[in-house]
Structure 1
Amino acid sequence: MKHLNFVVVFILVAFVYSCKKSNKETPTPVKTETITDANGFSYETVNNDPTGLRLYTLDNGLKVYLSKNTDEPTIQTYIAVRAGSNYDPKESTGLAHYLEHMVFKGTHKIGTLDWEKEKVYLDSISQLYEQHRAEQDPDKKRALYKKIDEVSLAASQFSVANEYDKMTSSLGATGTNAHTWFEETVYKNKIPANELSKWLALEEERFSTLVLRLFHTELEAVFEEYNRGQDNDFRKSYAAMLSDLFPKHPYGQQKTIGTAEHLKNPSLVDINNYFDKYYVPNNMAMVLVGDLDFDKTIQEVNATFGNLEKKEVVHPELPKEEPLSGIIESEVFGPTSERVTIAFRSQGVNTKEEQLVTLCDMILANGNAGLIDLNLNQKQIVQNAGCSPTFLNDYGYHSFNGSPKEGQSLEEVKDLLLSQIEKLKKGEFEDWMIEAVVNDLKKSQLQQYENSTALATAYFNAFIHRENWADKVAFLDELKSITKQEVVDFANSFYQNNYVVTYKRKGEDKSIVKVSNPGITPVNLNRDKASEYMTNFNAIKSEELKPVFIDYKTEIKETTTDNGLKVSYVENKTNDLFNMNIIFDMGSDHNKQLDLAVGYLEYLGTDKLSAEDLKKEFYKLGIDYSVNAGPEKTYVGLSGLKENLPKGLELLEQLWTNAKPDQEAYEKYVKAISKDRQNNKTNKASILRGGLLNYAKYGENSRLRNIIPITELELITPQELVDLAKDLRNYKQRIFYYGKDVDAAVAALNTHHNVFGELKDYPEAKVYTEQETGGNVFFVDFDMVQSEMMFLAKGDPFKPENMAASTLFNTYFGSGLSSIVFQEIRESKSLAYSAWASYATARDKDDSNYVMAYMGTQANKMPQAVEAMMNLMSDMPEAEDQFNAAKEATLKKIAAQRITKANIFWNYERLQKLGIDNDNREEMYNTIQNMTLEDLKTFFNTNIKGEKYNVMVIGNKKDVDFKSLEKLGKVKEMDVDYLFNYQKPTDIKI
């Protein structure tokens, strides 16, 4: 299912879904009303808005979006600033982004041990950076940087790293982060509801003052992020597309990450000026969605953020674009698989074009029955293709992308994409499509926006784009009023020969910027110390939030079908959507052709309906179906609106029992698998986290390598696969239903899902033996700027009693911004943008636990990074205050967690694999309450210290220091085809 990621429209109501209804219904007028509460606070509300938004505006101009969601005792928080890379000074691109990083570093109260003494050093550092920026002589520039490094070390004796992160962690916050884009910078936390007061006080202080401490180490982390972008071919082709679409506007001319030259020559003066100009309440919004009391919450927000000073804000006038004339083409090179992108520039948000492009996009590709879906993907004319629109404040764009089959050129894919646009322009889509699209969007809203995070995201987007919420509520009804002729007329005027084509080709990227290792002296973390602010903050006690544990055996109810199939069910109390899965406890481990067979069903029709017609019928009903075979289980699933379950199940059963083999479709299917395998070899994430990790864990005998060679796939007949898929229904099976009216669901199963006789037992599953680890370094050569490493040590077999200690250990030591690993490797030494370590719990009671760690760093920093990580994994630093904060954070996260809805069933499934039949969080919670730092040290010494690691490395062979790798074990360069057990392309005759 394709979901819009740019237009946020929320009519979260249970609607009557039928494509037979007229699309000429008169929508209920949507109006905004202003209400004053008992305490004198005024807010805007929109009639017919089931999200229940209350939009306040404080006296200082701060917008406050509040909505109530009681699914769990948490609040999703966003603080949004209308300031992004569009407003970066020309000479300081990337400024908004690294300012975002610095807002985490504290204030004159947070993160300092002696502000007056620290300030002297920080002022000196700022002056040195101005001199460094102005200096042209390379030797003098290096000398100035060395001086910056020296003064920064001296300044760090008065600072405490990550105090903000420690305090949010102590609240039990999750998802602590931020992002910067063209027009926005947004700061994120999800907090337990009882911690709202403390969080507001902390955020008021954070946004009151900017202090640029520990700047040069953080800037080096931003450089590592820049390098990750250079290693991301998708980002590079996206940037090239924008550059051609917007030759004048910052959308195309100023990357959010900035240029390498500007990152090397920052101005702390410019950063402070930017903060002072844009980080003011009348240019900001606070979004709170969750378990809150409206009246109390707005009073608390006003008592804190109401203190921020309002200032006049003038955003710069940005360049206007001339209409595109003709077709603009560009090329981007890199090691990953090839793809082509076509983009048409549009008007921005709050325009009629937003509505029309949205409709055109969904008619062309909705994941099911769009023109591209049916004519290109379903018929396997290309490897894959799709489209999506984006709408920003000044402009937008509708982009199309496609990947070629083997032997197909990017130019051919481009022409095929354009051919589908031509069909749209000719009106070659069915009359029911517009209403089906609108209903699909409504269904997507019900699925996507019933959770607090998604809804809060919608609100901050509305603020950034200056959208009236009433317009968002009315958006879908307005779409529904658009006629087919209007769509066709618009398509003919909009999709002309005025577009941008970006070819992503395989090859060397000669624009890569190589960055030297600046040789930063590790700064002091002072993790055993705390500012006066943090000491006082930690002393504040919030109302205790009690954990709620679940009795799975009462929450998951059971019934049976007429033919004896067990149906487990959980009631959907939120809306009229359902999800049904027929579960087979066997998968590709039992028969490696099973995944192949169920995948082939995607391209088949029946004796009555073609594959394309079948997709259309499902789309008319608003029902999605899926058939997926994993290693251990196979799922046949349906989801959508409850009232259409019977018709959807009838269609699915028609396919399942009457699928017709198609030789041509199978031949294309095999070619697509072959091309997918070749493409997979160009994906560094797949190589590291797939190929190398599986080899390090299992050696040659792994699931990843247990595949059918292409030459054998060619010998399988389509009838064999159809028979295998049909025979699936004759095996033992069980059903899970999440929705309303289980009796109606069971009645539909009784009518349409008929199984006969005694069901067959599953065949024996293939066993994969975990190998002992240690002394091996597995390396893959890849054209990239960074190098990425993973460390893997096989631990003891799974023990339920270790789960509490491992959870606390991961919080304290290896995961999150305030963890030991992150502080040491990134904050102190600037050796990586991303670094983590964890004690990973097995997924099956018969498997082992593993110690794992990861770093992504410049190749020339690798020796230092490896040494830093190995030192940490050998001797856990002990910090009593940090341990207590980690312990408190872990307990609060468990207390705020609620297992609800369909997750009740799926969590129980996961626990049963571990041999656990109860909510083990209760035992973990009680255990963690009594744990001490000494207990954690004992856990470390028993389970982590002295472990023997297999090390996985992917990087550019020309840059990697192999002598440093040899200290970790015997280095073995791996062939990627061998890792995945693929045949060489030259060995495949297709």
Structure 2
Amino acid sequence: MKIFKSMLLLLFVLLLSNCKDSSTKADTSDVIKTEQHTDSAGFNYETVSNDPTGLRLYTLDNGMKVYLAKNEEEPKIQTYIAVRAGSNYDPKETTGLAHYLEHMVFKGTDEIGTQDFAKEKVLLDQISDLYEEHKKESDPEKKKAIYKKIDEVSLEASKIAISNEYDKMISSLGAQGTNAHTWFEETVYKNKIPVNELDKWLKVESERFSQLVLRLFHTELEAVYEEFNRTQDNDFRKSYYATLEGLFPNHPYGQQRTIGTSDHLKNPSMVSIHNYFNKYYVPNNMAVVLVGDIDFDETINKVNDAFGAYEKKEVAHPVLPKEQPITSPVVKEVFGPTSENVAVAYRSEGIGSEEEKLLTMADMILTNGKAGLIDLNLNQKQMVQNAGCSPLFQNDYGFHRFSGTPKNGQTLDEVKDLILGEIEKLKKGEFEDWMMSAVINDLKLSQTREYENNTALASAYYNAFIHHQNWEDRVKFLDDLKKITKQELVDFANKFYQDNYVVTYKRKGEDKNVTKVENPGITPVELNRDKQSKFVSDFYEIETSPLQPKFIDYKTAIKQTNTENGLEVSYIKNPNNDLFSLNIIFDMGKDNDRKASLAAGYLDYLGTDKYSPDELKKEFYKLGINYNVSAGSDITYVGLSGLKENLDAGLALLEHLWGNAVADQETYNKYVDKIAKARDDNKTQKGNILWNGLMNYGIYGDNSALRNIYTIAELQEIDPNELVTKVKELKGFKHRIFYYGKDVDAAIASLNKNHVLNGDLADYPEETTYLEKETGGNVYFVDYDMVQSEMVFLAKGSQFDPSKLAASRLFNSYFGSGLSSIVFQEIRESKSLAYSAFSAYSNASEKDKSNYIYAYIGTQANKMPEAVDAMMDLMTNMPEAEKQFNAAKEATLKKIAAERITKSNIFWSYEGLKKRGIDNDNREEMYNTIKNMTLEDLKKFFNENISGETYNVLVIGNKKDVDMKALSKLGKVQEMDVDFLFNYEKKKEDIKL
């Protein structure tokens, strides 16, 4: 639900804006045009000639847009319902409204989520009136008194409400990814459903968007406030917001955060939210997007039946302020506990402008991850810790944002100046002519990968809708880029990149603008799990044609052959396009040799006796070939991917690097400095501290792979020639190959020619093993400057047992994961104790390792004791709800039935099964087991595997706010040093005297 799409969506939109396509067609711009059609039922729709996605765009009589595309690879449909309603349109006095409304659309209608709406409405109206009174009142004590009354009436209203009915129905379909997000100009609701459940999904969504009922309002508001707290603990977001404020001093892009302000969140207006819904949630301001295994004619009829009766209304979005040109650098500064970085951003025109095309090209010339100016001159040469850039385009404006992290001893201004220096090279045209066409090919390659994915394609469609784009313009986008000449790009760069930027310094230090929040003391509301509305009862009576699961015979799906030198080659043919991936696999990794990953990382910065490092990167980029060498704990990959026509040239180049890399001491010294700085940066990231440092210590204690690292002093003593030798000698160990693509014979021929072996292959070095410790009685705490506190309860279970896979999957669905799970309902929905809470029985990925039980809570420090009690009660006594169990069981079975393991995933899923000692598609056994399970069976699983477990408790929070006495009741509290968790050397300035 989740406001911040922010960077995930930001990065994703960048991909879509770049419109990356990997076809090798000639320029077809003269035949790309929109065409009008009429189907057999009389519905009019548009297509675009030479559109690789096959979109049909319908417009219903009431103005609703319907985007349909067909993909038969799996029996699922990615669904989006998009509304042109985002935070840009929030009234200034009630920011956060669009986002909070998004949350409330999950709460039901007068038919969903209630036992008696007539009675409930009386109380909801009373609550609404109280909120208006609360909003107007300025006296703090009187406001508290009103809020207490709101809490009392809300409790009474909850006795009539039925919590999570929407989530239960959608879950029962076997839906995945149920969620929503709000951003500047959009709110988008998401589900991925089995294809046979389309009718039931449409029934629910048709009712859901027909009206708004603001039930369970104050508990959800508290959850949104926890979401607000999470943003205060995210330094990237703070820096991003500061950049937007500088770029847009008048426009809502910079002046209204999607989450809203603290004051506005604490003084909501239910009346304003209703008004917003009635204004913007109308069919001519909405789109339905369906991409999957659909029949076009049947589907549009069904969508029209579901939404065609919605009444069209005139929609007038507010006229937003225009910005004046930025004439000199604008400086912003933010503080927080994470590592320092700097961002430089230039404001641009919005989507559909010529600047969008020119900036897309400029961005790729500057950084494409391989051979851009910043890639080669800053990252490859290790002039900074890392640097990059990306554009973002919205309706009114866009921007091009550059970011950089300093090396040890480097200032933020030095990083900024290095980035600006690369922009100057672009302005001077200091890049080779071939880069322009290589960028187009790179974008084509990326787009092919995206268009294979239903979710990515559906996202492209809803983005086109939100941004008022003709799909024809997106199809032509790459052809338009091809027309840009180098001189045009250079002229644009000189005009665009001047002293008209915003620079944001993210500095390490205390953020004095953090808002501290009181615990309002909400009375837990009723959930009424045993109740069911008539709508839901009728919904469950609707029969659908069952979807039959399909299981894989791995031994026939994965073909086998050999190279001339006897290497085993597993292969799967690519049925869709001319892309390939080739992996040379060594079943040894860091646990066999600590220098393996060190050598793999070093190789990326090296050249050969023939090519400099820069030249090598350029040669791969010209071919449209990506390569990688990576080492995991027990496996190492040498990989190659790209267009199959360039496989042979790419493999020859990779083998040349592999056999002829040249060590360089200066490069190695910088590489070690980079590792040292990465360690410094890693220990400032709270997610890394909790889920990596504390989690590993909770499992292994002192002796873990995480802590088994070289010190920086030891790294400095290593001869880089030894690392290069290690990479070269890697080929002398036993290995195997997996190929995914067309023309297997050509791939084998290329391997025979290029992958030459000398002599017998050696066995692997002995693997280091790490013993899992028993859990219980320990509280490991890390002091961290943050608003929320986060904690994980961790218990070691029994050794991996395949027979537990079925029960654990059903248990996780019923109990711990998802919006309709027991944990989510109790911790968040009923008690408002956390924004995020979940639990899982986690099965080991290897046959000789242990399963683990864990539970997570992220909440305000002043709510932690209550949240702990609530979670521990659940982990000891599993609530039993027969209807909820049956829904979870049905959902789990439907998810398995709709699962399709395809393409290269067939090989990789089999690799995972073999590590667990399983040599067949065990989903069939799981499916049949779950089909016969009862609630009593699940209770037995809970009692035998979860209830009564003793936990290590992993906590990160601000020591000044956390109730340490309360933590001590959970076990012996040990305050952990972050350097110790990761076995890093402590710097002198970090030593407390």
TM-score by length of 2: 0.98
Following TM superposition, by how much is the alpha carbon of 1:307 offset from its aligned partner in structure 2, in angstroms? Answer: 1.3
Partner of 1:887: 889
Partner of 1:19: none
Q: Is the Cα–Cα contact under 8 Å of residues 87 and 315 in structure 1 kept in the other structure? A: yes
CA distance in 2, matches of 1:401, 1:962: 39
Trace 1:101-250 onto structure 2 (pairs within 5 A): 101-250=103-252
Trace 1:937-948 onto structure 2 (pairs within 5 A): 937-948=939-950
Q: Is the Cα–Cα contact under 8 Å of residues 34 and 43 in structure 1 kept in the other structure? A: yes
CA distance in 2, matches of 1:896, 1:445: 26
Which secondary structure state, in structure 1, belongs to the residue aligned with residue 569 of structure 2? strand
Q: Is the Cα–Cα contact under 8 Å of residues 3 and 441 in structure 1 kept in the other structure? A: no
CA distance in 1, matches of 2:421, 2:43: 56
Q: Is the Cα–Cα contact under 8 Å of residues 160 and 526 in structure 1 kept in the other structure? A: yes
Work out which of the residue numbers 308, 311, 314 in structure 2 matches 1:309.
Answer: 311
Partner of 1:519: 521
Partner of 1:574: 576
Work out which of the residue numbers 776, 785, 790 in structure 2 matches 1:783.
Answer: 785
List per-residue Cα deviations over 1:643-680 (Å, max 9, x = no partner): 00000001100100000000000000000000000000
| Alignment: residue pair count | 981
Indicate whether 1:5 and 2:7 are aligned: no
Following TM superposition, by how much is the alpha carbon of 1:8 offset from its aligned partner in structure 2, in angstroms? Answer: 3.9
Partner of 1:869: 871
Q: Is the Cα–Cα contact under 8 Å of residues 74 and 191 in structure 1 kept in the other structure? A: yes
Partner of 1:840: 842
Letter in 1 for 2:125: D
Which secondary structure state, in structure 2, belongs to the residue aligned with residue 603 of structure 1? coil
List per-residue Cα deviations over 1:856-886 (Å, max 9, x = no partner): 0000000000000000000000000000000
Trace 1:342-741 onto structure 2 (pairs within 5 A): 342-741=344-743
Partner of 2:86: 84
Partner of 2:97: 95
Letter in 1 for 2:493: A
Partner of 2:750: 748
Q: Is the Cα–Cα contact under 8 Å of residues 681 and 977 in structure 1 kept in the other structure? A: yes
Which secondary structure state, in structure 2, belongs to the residue aligned with residue 706 of structure 1? coil
Following TM superposition, by how much is the alpha carbon of 1:481 offset from its aligned partner in structure 2, in angstroms? Answer: 1.0
Which secondary structure state, in structure 1, belongs to the residue aligned with residue 749 of structure 2? helix
Following TM superposition, by how much is the alpha carbon of 1:264 offset from its aligned partner in structure 2, in angstroms? Answer: 0.4
Q: CA 1:952–1:165 in structure 2 vs 1: closer, same or farther (change >3 Å)? A: same
Partner of 1:70: 72
Partner of 1:15: 24
CA distance in 2, matches of 1:205, 1:741: 50
Which secondary structure state, in structure 2, belongs to the residue aligned with residue 274 of structure 1? helix
List per-residue Cα deviations over 1:440-479 (Å, max 9, x = no partner): 0000011122110000000000000011001100100110
Indicate whether 1:878 and 2:880 are aligned: yes
Following TM superposition, by how much is the alpha carbon of 1:756 offset from its aligned partner in structure 2, in angstroms? Answer: 1.7
Which secondary structure state, in structure 2, belongs to the residue aligned with residue 148 of structure 1? helix
CA distance in 1, matches of 2:631, 2:727: 11
Which secondary structure state, in structure 2, belongs to the residue aligned with residue 857 of structure 1? strand
Letter in 2 for 1:921: R
CA distance in 2, matches of 1:653, 1:10: 32
Q: CA 1:108–1:57 in structure 2 vs 1: closer, same or farther (change >3 Å)? A: same
Letter in 2 for 1:194: N
Q: Is the Cα–Cα contact under 8 Å of residues 13 and 50 in structure 1 kept in the other structure? A: no
Trace 1:921-940 onto structure 2 (pairs within 5 A): 921-940=923-942
CA distance in 2, matches of 1:325, 1:249: 17
Q: CA 1:773–1:901 in structure 2 vs 1: closer, same or farther (change >3 Å)? A: same
CA distance in 2, matches of 1:378, 1:987: 30
Letter in 2 for 1:275: F
CA distance in 1, matches of 2:650, 2:680: 36
Work out which of the residue numbers 32, 43, 59 in structure 1 matches 2:45.
Answer: 43
Which secondary structure state, in structure 2, belongs to the residue aligned with residue 340 of structure 1? strand
Q: CA 1:987–1:783 in structure 2 vs 1: closer, same or farther (change >3 Å)? A: closer
Partner of 1:20: none
Q: Is the Cα–Cα contact under 8 Å of residues 703 and 771 in structure 2 kept in the other structure? A: yes
List per-residue Cα deviations over 1:700-756 (Å, max 9, x = no partner): 111110111000000001101000111100000000000001110011101111112
Q: Is the Cα–Cα contact under 8 Å of residues 20 and 442 in structure 2 kept in the other structure? A: no
Following TM superposition, by how much is the alpha carbon of 1:529 offset from its aligned partner in structure 2, in angstroms? Answer: 1.0
CA distance in 2, matches of 1:707, 1:541: 58
Following TM superposition, by how much is the alpha carbon of 1:302 offset from its aligned partner in structure 2, in angstroms? Answer: 0.3
Following TM superposition, by how much is the alpha carbon of 1:15 offset from its aligned partner in structure 2, in angstroms? Answer: 1.4
Q: CA 1:266–1:514 in structure 2 vs 1: closer, same or farther (change >3 Å)? A: same
Which secondary structure state, in structure 2, belongs to the residue aligned with residue 307 of structure 1? coil
Letter in 2 for 1:127: D
Partner of 1:810: 812
CA distance in 2, matches of 1:424, 1:555: 49
CA distance in 1, matches of 2:28, 2:871: 64
Following TM superposition, by how much is the alpha carbon of 1:29 offset from its aligned partner in structure 2, in angstroms? Answer: 2.6
CA distance in 2, matches of 1:780, 1:551: 48
CA distance in 2, matches of 1:608, 1:200: 61
CA distance in 2, matches of 1:703, 1:542: 50
Q: Is the Cα–Cα contact under 8 Å of residues 235 and 338 in structure 2 kept in the other structure? A: yes
Partner of 2:8: none
CA distance in 2, matches of 1:475, 1:5: 14
Work out which of the residue numbers 263, 266, 269 in structure 2 matches 1:264.
Answer: 266
Following TM superposition, by how much is the alpha carbon of 1:182 offset from its aligned partner in structure 2, in angstroms? Answer: 0.2
List per-residue Cα deviations over 1:201-251 (Å, max 9, x = no partner): 100000001000000000000000000000000000000000000000000
Q: Is the Cα–Cα contact under 8 Å of residues 85 and 187 in structure 2 kept in the other structure? A: yes
Q: Is the Cα–Cα contact under 8 Å of residues 248 and 319 in structure 1 kept in the other structure? A: yes
**Aligned Cα RMSD in Å?**
1.2
Work out which of the residue numbers 751, 768, 771 in structure 2 matches 1:769.
Answer: 771
CA distance in 2, matches of 1:4, 1:460: 11
Following TM superposition, by how much is the alpha carbon of 1:480 offset from its aligned partner in structure 2, in angstroms? Answer: 0.7
Q: CA 1:700–1:869 in structure 2 vs 1: closer, same or farther (change >3 Å)? A: same
Partner of 1:899: 901
CA distance in 2, matches of 1:61, 1:722: 63
Gaps of 5+ in 1: 17-22
CA distance in 1, matches of 2:693, 2:20: 44
Partner of 2:6: none
List per-residue Cα deviations over 1:398-433 (Å, max 9, x = no partner): 000000000000000000000000000000000001
CA distance in 1, matches of 2:228, 2:135: 19
CA distance in 2, matches of 1:571, 1:806: 34
Letter in 1 for 2:889: K
List per-residue Cα deviations over 1:592-616 (Å, max 9, x = no partner): 0110001100000000000000000
List per-residue Cα deviations over 1:165-208 (Å, max 9, x = no partner): 00000000000000000000000000000000000010000000
Which secondary structure state, in structure 2, belongs to the residue aligned with residue 458 of structure 1? helix
